Chain A
């Protein structure tokens, strides 16, 4: 299957600082990428859909000024958590949609654990 990487895998930061998470599709081009967050023992919640070369589409309740998304190329999307606070601590997972044989499948990255102190 297609490979999606994320960096960093884990980050600890102080409250008020900004954190950038990178998501790369390694062996395919992804016009659409997705950002999810997952709290302990809960399922994935979609935060936003990122389309290459255009503005991201945020889900209801997600602050677009706090979670900045940039999809600058067909293989890279970034999520910046601005002025992070302890309540932003979570597991952030990106996903990229890969066209395979005419059908699209979403592949997920390994996730980034964010801890805001």
Chain B
């Protein structure tokens, strides 16, 4: 069974304090690993897709990396507006549906 585990469940940072969120997965036939950001009361906002080990993608203060067992979302010098729940999901063969982790709730204090 495909599984996704995110850690930590919650993370509090001071503005400017860099850190990383972890997403570990067990899946047969990975087609892609997705990162989303979700604000309270809203749908998830797409951030990145990673397809193979060693791949990296960046967007502003965020950088996502992928290995064969886990992915990291690195946040550099975060700002309060980066506060949100970050969701990781894997897409695996053959069904190709997304299996989500429980998310990491990030709070960045000014």
Asked whether A107 lies within 8 Å of B41 as measured between CB atoms, the reply is no
Indicate which residue in B43, B46, B101 contacts A93 across the interface (CB closer than 8 Å): B43
A51 in contact (CB, < 8 A): no
The CB with the most chain B CB atoms within 10 A, among A49, A104, A105, A108, is that of: A108
Interface string of B35-61 (1 = CB under 8 A from A): 010000111111001010000000000
Tally A-B pairs: CB < 8 A: 45
Residues of A with C-beta under 8 A to B25: none
B78 in contact (CB, < 8 A): no
Interface string of A79-100 (1 = CB under 8 A from B): 0000000000001010100000
Indicate which residue in A46, A49, A104, A110 contacts B43 across the interface (CB closer than 8 Å): A110
Q: Which label, helix, strand, loop or mixed, suits the secondary structure of the A interface?
A: strand
Q: A44-B87, A46-B98 are in contact. Are A105 and B49 (CB under 8 A)?
A: yes
B102 in contact (CB, < 8 A): yes
Expressed in whole angstroms, the minimum distance between the Cβ of B100 and any Cβ of chain A is: 5
- Bound together, the chains give a CA A44 to CA B87 distance in angstroms of 9
A61 in contact (CB, < 8 A): no
Residues of A with C-beta under 8 A to B49: 103, 105
Residues of A with C-beta under 8 A to B98: 34, 46, 95, 106
Expressed in whole angstroms, the minimum distance between the Cβ of B83 and any Cβ of chain A is: 16
Q: A43-B101, A46-B98, A105-B34 are in contact. Are A110 and B51 (CB under 8 A)?
A: no
Asked whether A108 lies within 8 Å of B102 as measured between CB atoms, the reply is no
Expressed in whole angstroms, the minimum distance between the Cβ of B5 and any Cβ of chain A is: 11
Residues of B with C-beta under 8 A to A110: 42-43
The CB with the most chain A CB atoms within 10 A, among B44, B46, B103, is that of: B44
Instruction: Give residues in A with beta carbon < 8 Å to B.
Output: 1, 4, 6, 34, 42-44, 46, 49, 91, 93, 95, 103-111, 113
| 3 smallest beta-carbon distances between A and B, as pairs | A108-B43, A111-B43, A108-B44
